[in-house]
Structure 1
């Protein structure tokens, strides 16, 4: 019932103010008839015009709380000066004005105006009547009755401020949630694009070289051609499996009967990668320094993809058709270096476009786990890709529980 009245008053503020003003006029009429043995006020109908002014002033409480308080306080002071007892009914317009002042203004303004109002009404009430049995009623009673609406109005102001802050926080949280969702979608698109590039570009580049070599040797070396074609079938099969695993992540559901995804590739598949590159005519030498350390799934995948992309570029661009892969383990890092020397006559490798998606993807992968990567031409010819990866990722992007599956990183 109370909440319904509050909602109605908020929707029909003017009508509520008119009803309040009429009710206050009635209250003051009854309050003017209250007296004690120590007080004998004049005819209560004589100051009726003051009561009307006091009640009408309440209509402006919402828009001009200071002016309303000044008018109602002046009217109440006039009545107490005439000898009327400052009862709660007589002070009802002032109490209403004090409530709206406390509810709509700041604490400093409320304190100044309410203190001045209390002082004026207590002083005029004491000046109009000698000290007697109603002394406590005219002093302490007046102070308590006037401080009550101040307290209620301050509570209303704090509650309104709290509700506004809650709404503001909710709106901010909604905007932040939408922005975070858009950011996550963008990051996921980048990871999917990077994974698709790594899964397809390497195999397609190797397949292209294998097909070209087979076409070149078909007439003169049929046995070698058949071997290359067999390797080509394996290369395209690997490409299809990796593509299926990557796309499968996008279609993965919570169905426990769904087909398992392809395991995430790691350095344990490096021999297969080297064999595929060698079938395309690239001689790969792998050197391991230090004792091999266990790698987290994310670091293992990143190391494999960096070597895969570097060897893909070497397959397409290295004039001497040779590359070296160096893996160095220390206490906290895995150092990866993939180099080629250029032509046998000292030439340099044709530069790889710095804006290519392959190099960009390698940089992004290394940075995503807290590592560093650099790639560029060597001073003495050739090209080099060097990466330093932590054995455990520095960010929580890689902490899968259970079996490892291909992830759209």
Structure 2
């Protein structure tokens, strides 16, 4: 099916040109030849509605080849203007080089037919056949060049669209990875606290009410954090932004430490230096680094383990050190491939321009060190 724009072009161009061509054909070559010229012009104008198809170009070329064969005065037909349009369209939307070849061959054949036409010789009409060939060749080359230019534009637009699709796919993948990291951090820490509380409750029945309250509070907070992480997947972007709960940061570290202590892990918090603005992303990363380190200690460190969280505000960056003693998370985490938590932690830190180091101390224990630069 032809495009609506091409049908409009064919109609707008065809009405005046075809009408004039009919008049010129009837007055110049009356009889059967006039009918043949009118018929070929009509076919050529109809083919313009399908100008983006290669076959339409050859239909137009064949129509004007018939005109060249019928009369050397074909140039007086206004419909001849369709041939450069066909060359342009084929070069832009179809084949690259055949339009130029056909155009140059058509210019040569037309000039030769003009030079050998008896009516032209009898009337002593000009111009010189060589000059006519140069003019027709120039028109064909110009139309072909504009077609290639349009072809390049369309290719560039397609490239931009492909890049936009790739960028959208990458953004989607990055958002999924972000949500996966958030879900891991929230669920892993909450479950670690719940498991530790439940394990402790087996040996301390008298604290059952306190332990159950802690489990309930941890579960509620985990549910709230999960809603904040995946809310964007369920609602429109504007609604999700409006409903999104504030993400945790360094201001929430005391609550995290207290919650971890309530799970049975002694945590010592040390802060040195004056605080500097980190920016929302780095602030969240700092919280998640400490959360993941404490979660690993809860899950993997042995009985009697303790943890130390040190925040040191230097002149150019925040240094975070989270270490455990009395047990070792290293045996589980580094006995094989690094877990998803550590991989996600490293991605977070690198994303804000920071550096993460995870190691096992010779004396036992697991150390997580992160350097987060300040917001510039």
**What TM-score, normalized by structure 1, do the two folds share?**
0.65
Q: 1:317 aligns with which of 297, 300, 324?
A: 300
For residues 58-97 of structure 1, what are the alpha-carbon distances to aligned partners after superposition, in whole Å with 9 as ceiling and x for unaligned? xx997556666666666767789x9995614x74xxxxxx
Q: What is aligned with 1:374?
A: 357
* CA 1:263–1:19: 2 relative to 1, 3 Å: closer
Looking at structure 2, the residues matched to 161 and 196 of structure 1 have their Cα atoms a distance apart, in angstroms, of 52
Alignment map for 1:109-124 (pairs within 5 Å): 118=130
Alignment map for 1:227-238 (pairs within 5 Å): 227-238=210-221
Count of aligned pairs between the two proteins: 305
* CA 1:225–1:349: 2 relative to 1, 3 Å: farther
Aligned: 1:271 with 2:254 = yes
Q: What is aligned with 1:16?
A: 60
Answer whether contact 1:342 1:383 (CA < 8 A) is retained: no
What is the CA-CA distance between 1:315 and the residue it aligns to?
Answer: 1.2
What is the CA-CA distance between 1:266 and the residue it aligns to?
Answer: 0.7
| Higher-Rg member (1/2) | 1
Looking at structure 2, the residues matched to 243 and 67 of structure 1 have their Cα atoms a distance apart, in angstroms, of 71
Q: 1:239 aligns with which of 222, 229, 233?
A: 222
Q: What is aligned with 1:341?
A: 325
Answer whether contact 2:68 2:110 (CA < 8 A) is retained: no
What is the CA-CA distance between 1:374 and the residue it aligns to?
Answer: 1.7
Q: What is aligned with 2:135?
A: 148
Q: What is aligned with 2:189?
A: 202
Q: What is aligned with 1:249?
A: 232
Looking at structure 2, the residues matched to 164 and 258 of structure 1 have their Cα atoms a distance apart, in angstroms, of 42
For residues 293-335 of structure 1, what are the alpha-carbon distances to aligned partners after superposition, in whole Å with 9 as ceiling and x for unaligned? 1221111111001100100101122234211111111233111
Question: More deviation in 15-24 or 283-292?
Answer: 15-24
Looking at structure 2, the residues matched to 257 and 167 of structure 1 have their Cα atoms a distance apart, in angstroms, of 37
Q: What is aligned with 1:297?
A: 280
* CA 1:278–1:151: 2 relative to 1, 3 Å: same
Aligned: 1:160 with 2:150 = no
Looking at structure 2, the residues matched to 385 and 263 of structure 1 have their Cα atoms a distance apart, in angstroms, of 26
Answer whether contact 1:341 1:349 (CA < 8 A) is retained: no
Q: 1:87 aligns with which of 126, 134, 153?
A: 126
* SS across alignment from 1:87: coil
Looking at structure 1, the residues matched to 248 and 283 of structure 2 have their Cα atoms a distance apart, in angstroms, of 8
Q: What is aligned with 1:28?
A: 72
**What TM-score, normalized by structure 2, do the two folds share?**
0.70
Name the one with the larger helix percent. 2
Answer whether contact 1:370 1:390 (CA < 8 A) is retained: yes
* SS across alignment from 1:381: coil
Aligned: 1:187 with 2:170 = no
* CA 1:146–1:291: 2 relative to 1, 3 Å: same
Please list every run of 5 or more consecutive structure 2 residues that lacks an aligned counterpart in the other structure: 1-10, 15-44, 76-97
Aligned: 1:384 with 2:371 = no
* CA 1:2–1:297: 2 relative to 1, 3 Å: same
Alignment map for 1:389-408 (pairs within 5 Å): 389-392=372-375
* SS across alignment from 2:215: helix
Please list every run of 5 or more consecutive structure 1 residues that lacks an aligned counterpart in the other structure: 32-59, 92-117, 119-141, 394-409
Over the residues paired in the alignment, what is the CA RMSD in angstroms? 3.4
Answer whether contact 2:107 2:133 (CA < 8 A) is retained: no
Q: What is aligned with 1:211?
A: 198
Higher RCO (CA < 8 A, seq sep 6+): 1
